[in-house]
Amino acid sequence: QVQLVESGGGVVQPGGSLRLSCAASGFIFDTYTMHWVRQAPGKGLEWVALLSHDELYEYYTDSVRGRFTISRDNSQNTLSLELKNLRPEDTALYYCARNGGHSRWSWLDTWGQGTQVTVSS
């Protein structure tokens, strides 16, 4: 079945870095645009970034642009998110999610369980 499994979260000091990974299985990974979405404790969902299946286009929400980098390795069915210059407000559960279709703009039809990032001194 379609599955997304995130890893790499942890506790980091402000200004620090982390690299999150998402292992995909059960579908043809290199045909789907992929996303990261986060949810701060007790708060709503915030879309973070997307990367097209062919890596030709990537987008970020304003608050992370220039600090976060989304990437993928289609040979390993893995999506990554590199987080730099972390701030306390980046503390959240980070979800990996799949595009619901093969068109450029699509809903999110499959979500992982999430990996927790905590930024604290």
Binding interface with another protein (CB under 8 A) = 35, 37, 44-47, 50, 59-62, 95, 100, 105-109, 111-114
- Least Å from the CB of residue 18 to another protein: 21
Could you tell me the smallest distance in angstroms from the CB atom of residue 54 to another protein? 16
Nearest distance from residue 9's CB to another protein, in Å?
15
> With respect to another protein, which residue has the nearer C-beta, 4 or 86?
4
* Distance of closest approach, residue 105 Cβ to another protein, in angstroms: 5
Strands 18-25 and 78-83: antiparallel
Residue 91: phi, psi to the nearest 5? Answer: -60, 120
Q: Which is nearer to another protein, 12 or 51 (CB)?
A: 51
Q: What's the gap between Cα 17 and its chain centre?
A: 15
Half-sphere exposure of 96 (CA within 13 A, CB side): 32
Cβ-based nearer residue to another protein, 46 or 82: 46
| Residue 97 burial (CB count, 10 A) | 23
First to last CA, the chain: 40
Task: Cite the DSSP H helix spans in 1-121.
Answer: none
Q: Given the complex with another protein, which of 63 and 76 has the nearer CB atom?
A: 63
